[in-house]
Amino acid sequence: MNTLSWQITPISECTEALWSDWKALFVQHHSHNPMLDYRFFSSLFQFYSANVFVARGKVEGKLSAIVLLEKVSLGQWKNYLPSQSQIAPILISPTVEFNLNGLMQALGSPTIKLDWFSLDSQEHNTLIKNVRNLQNYAQNIKLSISDDFATYWSNRPKRLRKDISRSINRLKKDGLAVTHKMITTPKLVSEAVDRYGMLESKGWKGINGTAIHPANTQGQFYKFLMELFAQKQHSLVYESYLADELVASRLCIFNEETLIILKTTFDESYSHYSLGNLNRYKLIEEIFEIELCKCIDFYTNASKEQLYWSTEQRPIFNGTCYRFQLIEKAVFTLNKVKVW
């Protein structure tokens, strides 16, 4: 039986080995998904330190899973989930038995509770099917790049098509022409990330202190990350301009299979023209035209309007596990009563 046995090590004791193992497991089981690429998480740890423990799951000595964990308090743990990551940094073979009880035992005798956040039903189903207390945390959306753009667009809901037409017509009526740029070379990507940060800092995120900016850690992280992916032609910044003024921008990483939109911003003073939506529309159109990849994965909790862009949807889950069955059954029963 392919049941995982677990070994726990502080990341401070195994950093170099971790990224070597991560790369190998990523290539075997998750290479379609750049959000789980070792380059993403190894870059993240260069800019954001965290007291993380590495759980390695093996079957007969063969590495088959890696889970990054954080201790919350005595007896309680959770999977590591930095704000920059849209899904849990967990790699796992789809053919193994996850062995949750074994993982909790490996964490030490006081451990009674383990929380899971942002489990992707596409990537983490081996784990998800072993968690009894699951909550549907988000409805993610995906867009398949097949047929041609005209066919894709004709199949979008009428409301979405009208919204984009209205945006284009308003710009024409006011004598404004929007130009769009797809930037992929390392040096130009680096400069575009700085421009992105300056634009985002002008809006509500700048007021709240959550915007990326060339001078802050977030801005430096995304610049480093985008430059790193650009070395393999795996990152792009998609910009929209009114004359010489940047009015919308998207930061994306991709590979031959999937493109993921990491960050989106637009000039709020032009919100009347819905330039963020227009930027998304033109990006999708261009991806169809150049056949850049096979799909776009949005990794968002999609609103009704965002669902209009998608060709597929899937759930993202949160969940909780308990070491002792009596506690888990009691919580499970209580949750069912609350639902009813």
pLDDT in the model for residue 226 = 98
Q: Tokens for 148?
A: 């041609």
**CB neighbourhood size of 194 (10 A):** 16
Per-residue pLDDT of the chain (340 residues; tens, 9 = 90+): 689 999 999 999 999 999 999 999 999 999 999 999 999 999 999 999 899 999 999 999 999 999 999 999 999 999 999 999 999 999 999 999 999 999 999 998 889 999 999 999 999 999 999 998 899 999 999 999 998 999 999 999 999 999 999 999 999 999 999 999 999 999 999 999 999 999 999 999 999 999 999 999 999 999 999 999 999 999 999 999 999 999 999 999 999 999 999 999 999 999 999 999 999 999 999 999 999 999 999 999 999 999 999 999 999 999 999 987 656 665 555 655 554 5
Percent of the chain whose pLDDT exceeds 90: 91
DSSP code of residue 35: G
Task: Measure CA 265 to chain center.
Answer: 16
Tell me whether strands 295-297 and 258-266 are parallel, antiparallel or unpaired: parallel
The predicted pLDDT at position 299 comes to 95
Lookup: tokens for 84? 């920059």
The whole-number pLDDT of residue 172 equals: 96
Helix or strand (DSSP H, E) at 5? strand 5-10
Sign of CA dihedral 123, 125, 126, 132: positive
Going along the chain, which residue ranges are E strands? 5-10, 53-59, 62-73, 76-79, 90-92, 113-120, 133-144, 178-183, 235-242, 245-254, 258-266, 295-297, 312-322
What CA dihedral angle connects 6, 9, 15 and 17, to 10 degrees?
-40
- Yes or no: say if 126 and 116 are a contact pair by the CB < 8 Å rule: no
pLDDT of residue 78: 97
Pick the closest to residue 126 from 159, 102, 161, 90 (CA basis).
Answer: 90
User: Which domains does the chain possess?
Assistant: 5-138+316-339 (3.40.630), 146-293 (3.40.630.30)
Whole-angstrom distance, CA of residue 285 vs CA of residue 145: 10
Q: Which residues contact 311 (CB under 8 A, 6 or more apart)?
A: 142, 143, 144, 152
pLDDT score at 110:
85
Q: What are phi and psi of 166, to 5 degrees?
A: -65, -40
pLDDT value for 338: 56
CA 253 to mean position of chain CA atoms: 10
pLDDT at 287: 98
Q: What is the pLDDT of residue 88?
A: 97
Query: Which pLDDT score is estimated for 132?
Result: 85
Helix axes 275-290, 158-173, angle to 10 degrees: 110
In the block, tokens 């999609």 appear at 302
Determine the length of the chain: 340
Angle between helix axes 38-47 and 217-230 (nearest 10 degrees) is 150
